[in-house]
Amino acid sequence: MMRAVQHILLLCTLGAVGACSEIETHYFKDRINEATAERVAKRYGSPHKVEERLDHHVVWTYFDRGSANSGYAGTARSSFCRAYVLIFDREGILRDWQQQDC
């Protein structure tokens, strides 16, 4: 009985982690040409990487390496990494974004 409860809790946790990553994808999709750099920074904090391009756009990158230290088998998940690359214009408006593997 205890083993079944553990499996259910594990499945719920995995589902919640997957749902969180989808929230980020939908947030960026729905806010192209609307979100400001200031609003994004308030929601996610300072970006992990900032690049200024010659065309006066600014590229922010956030890295999501997951929050779990180990997988179900007890081994470390060293390969999980997702990058959210956001492109802002000179006025600080989100103009494009990409989700990439690190």
What are phi and psi for residue 62, nearest 5 degrees?
-110, 135
> Across the strands, what pairs with 36?
93
pTM above 0.85, yes or no: no
The residue range of the domain holding 50 is 2-101
- CATH code, domain with 74: 3.30.1450.10
Reported in sequence order, the residue ranges of 17-77 that DSSP labels E, i.e. its strands, are 49-52, 58-64
Q: Which two tokens stand for residue 75?
A: 């081994």
Number of domains in the chain: 1
CB atoms within 10 A of CB 65: 13
Dump pLDDT digits (tens) for 37-77: 999 999 999 999 999 999 999 999 999 887 655 455 555 55
Reported in sequence order, the residue ranges of the chain that DSSP labels E, i.e. its strands, are 49-52, 58-64, 82-88, 94-101
